[in-house]
Amino acid sequence: MVITLKPGTTEKGIQHVLDKIKELGFTPHVSKGAERTIIGVIGENAIRSREIFQAMFIVESVMPISRPYKLVSREFKSEDTVVKVGNVEIGGNKEIAVMAGPCAVESRTQLLKVAQEVKEAGARILRGGAFKPRTSPYSFQGLGEEGLKYLAEASEVTHLPVVTEARNVRQVELVARYAHIVQVGARNMQNFDLLKEVGRGKKPVLLKRGMSSTVKEFLMSAEYILSSGNYDVILCERGIRTFEDGTRFTLDLSAVSLIKQLSHLPVIVDPSHATGNRDLIGPMSRAAIAAGSDGLMIEVHSRPEEALSDGFQSIRPDDFRKLMKEVRSVARALGRKG
């Protein structure tokens, strides 16, 4: 890290900082300028002592040099991680992994019908919420374990693996019993205990980006899961919160490319929640694949106008078929398996 001292710091002040650095076992490199003195501190864990220096009154700023995450970084592992779920492979420039299904599991009939429809259109994984995080305590909160059972049945019938959300530490084991991928929702991206819990599990984890989390924080949250022992993590960009009110969130596709630079983990994109606007889901799906996304997560509902949650952002099976055709076409144009 680099420590910058305030203008006018005395020799004694500089010495005080140098002593502290040495006491902590690091090597300081001093550069004295006309106005300010800067001190480079080299050492693998130097940045963990950051706060000690920030708290000193003669210190103007402390800047990290190396990145705060290790296991998720490209520097730690240069080749792409491929997460295997049944016979689906996610990451590593393989086939585009599309997860599709209803926002919430509403009934057995609804789920079996739509599962069959998304399968026929080319989805490789079935999505559907049994435990729904809802802004209002008065909204439909999901069918719970009953919903998980319907998902397991739909998976058996269609041979599609299933991804669904665990909303708190207590649900992780239950969800993992029925699902093939455990989802951590955007509102829980910094629920650190939940991250550790899914990190101790054996099932692959789909981690959604918090709506106001930087890419760095997103990777730090993934680091929690990997450092707890689970390396099968799929990241999902789903829109960030900005001032723009023409869409529900702002889909941040440059984050996809940026993560690909910084990390070896697979990344997918959820344009349904990001835009909250049916008509933008097709274009944003094509754009996501063109930007290098390893897959998509799409809400499909046989009758969106009757959906118990988020009907406005669901598309019909027909539209989904068209979308699949287009994204495959884009993938092939860029030399990927469509």
User: 65 to 124, contacts with a second copy by CB under 8 A?
Assistant: 65-66, 68-69, 75
Minimum Å distance from CB 231 to a second copy? 14
Minimum Å distance from CB 19 to a second copy? 13
DSSP 33-46: -SS-EEEEEESTTG
Residues making up the chain, counted from first to last: 338
Binder of a second copy out of 130, 143, 151, 211 (CB under 8 A):
211
In the range 176-205, which residues lie near a second copy by CB under 8 A? 187-188, 190-194, 196
What are the start-end ranges of the E strands in the chain?
Answer: 2-5, 27-32, 37-42, 59-63, 83-85, 88-90, 97-101, 125-127, 162-165, 181-184, 205-208, 233-237, 267-269, 295-299
Minimum Å distance from CB 157 to a second copy? 26
Q: How far apart are the two ends of the chain, measured CA to CA in Å?
A: 44
Binder of a second copy out of 163, 308, 323, 324 (CB under 8 A):
308
Listed ranges 39-47, 82-90, 147-155, 156-164: which one lies at the site for a second copy (CB under 8 A):
39-47
Binder of a second copy out of 18, 112, 169, 174 (CB under 8 A):
169
In the range 254-293, which residues lie near a second copy by CB under 8 A? 254-258, 261, 274-275, 277, 279-280, 283-284, 286-292
Minimum Å distance from CB 174 to a second copy? 13
Q: What distance in Å separates the CA atoms of residue 231 and residue 225, rounded to the nearest whole number? A: 7
CB 282 within 8 A of CB 322: yes
CB nearer a second copy, residue 119 or residue 328: 328
Q: Tell me how many residues contact a second copy (CB under 8 A).
A: 107
CB nearer a second copy, residue 86 or residue 144: 144
CB nearer a second copy, residue 87 or residue 243: 243
Question: Nearest 5°: phi and psi at 71?
Answer: -65, -30
- Dihedral sign from CA coordinates of 135, 161, 176, 174: positive
CB nearer a second copy, residue 116 or residue 247: 247
Burial class of residue 127 (count of CB atoms within 10 Å of its CB; 0-12, 13-18, 19+): buried
Question: In sequence order, which residues have a C-beta less than 8 Å from that of residue 331 and are 6 or more positions away?
Answer: 96, 289, 337, 338
CB nearer a second copy, residue 294 or residue 310: 310
Listed ranges 88-96, 116-124, 156-164, 211-219: which one lies at the site for a second copy (CB under 8 A):
211-219
Question: In sequence order, which residues have a C-beta less than 8 Å from that of residue 20 and are 6 or more positions away?
Answer: 52, 53, 56
CB nearer a second copy, residue 86 or residue 292: 292
Q: What distance in Å separates the CA atoms of residue 19 and residue 28, rounded to the nearest whole number? A: 9
CB nearer a second copy, residue 160 or residue 296: 296
